Amino acid sequence: MLNVAVLVSGGGTNLQAIIDAIKAGSITNAQIKVVISNNKDAYALERAKAAGIKELCISPKDFEDRAKFNEALIDAIDKENIDLIVLAGFLVVIPEAMVKKYKNRIINIHPSLIPSFCGKGYYGLKVHEAALARGVKVTGATVHFVDEGTDTGPIIYQKAVEIKEGDTPEVLQRRVMEEAEWKLLPQAIDALANGRVKLG
């Protein structure tokens, strides 16, 4: 059984997709041990509570400096015996020490086809704004392993999503979530939990 920590910052629709997939049996051999948010108002925490999953808020604002926050985040994960860390809309830079300690055991969902519209400054709606501003006709989502860079780790799965005339960033974000993110992330967790993708 793969012990999973899900790290979130916002609405938590990707977290919900994971919870639902575990319930439906489309993810097997995995359980969410803890949901951690950097933001105490994140609706994702309500989703965890409703599903009976342990939830924690660990915010940089509550610590003297970034090093102390990083330490607390790593400690919280270490305590739960975690095999896989899933970044599901987590908008905080992952401490380098955590990347090293959990090498090949951290995955992230990004709302574009990497290497387009990724890296520093590309998160959430900004990604979709940039795709529309560039005029690309196809975008999508990517699940990848997390390394020391921003959105630079090995790609696990990608799925393309069509951009339609008249799309706003919000409309496009929703389509990318529905058609790609909510499918890819559970698929990747199931693949990792069942040895179809190697944890390294």
Least Å distance, CB 110 to ligand GAR, is 5
Of the candidates 110, 112, 140, 156, the residue annotated as catalytic is: 110
Widest CA span of the chain, in angstroms? Answer: 48
From the list 10-18, 32-40, 64-72, 159-167, the region that binds ligand GAR by CB under 6 A is 10-18
Selection from 188, 193, 185, 5 nearest residue 94 by Cα: 5
Q: Is 186 in the site for ligand GAR (CB under 6 A)?
A: no
Binding residues with ligand GAR: total (CB under 6 A): 17
Closest CB to ligand GAR among residues 3, 124: 124
Q: Is 111 in the site for ligand GAR (CB under 6 A)?
A: yes
Bridge partners of 37, per DSSP, are 8, 57
Residues 27-46 that bind ligand GAR (CB under 6 A): 44
CB 45 within 8 A of CB 89: no
Q: Is 123 in the site for ligand GAR (CB under 6 A)?
A: yes
Strand order in the sheet with 84-87: 55-57, 30-37, 2-8, 84-87, 106-110, 138-145, 155-162
Instruction: Look up 144 and say whether it is catalytic.
Output: no
Alpha carbon separation from 1 to 16, 17, 34, 108, 193 (Å, rounded): 20, 19, 14, 20, 7
From the list 65-73, 74-82, 108-116, 152-160, the region that binds ligand GAR by CB under 6 A is 108-116
When CB distances to ligand GAR are compared, the closest residue is 89
State the Cα angle at 31 between 84 and 111, rounded to 5°.
55
Q: What are the residue numbers of the active site? A: 110
- Which residues bind to ligand GAR, rule: CB under 6 A? 8, 10-14, 44, 88-89, 109-111, 123-124, 127, 177, 181
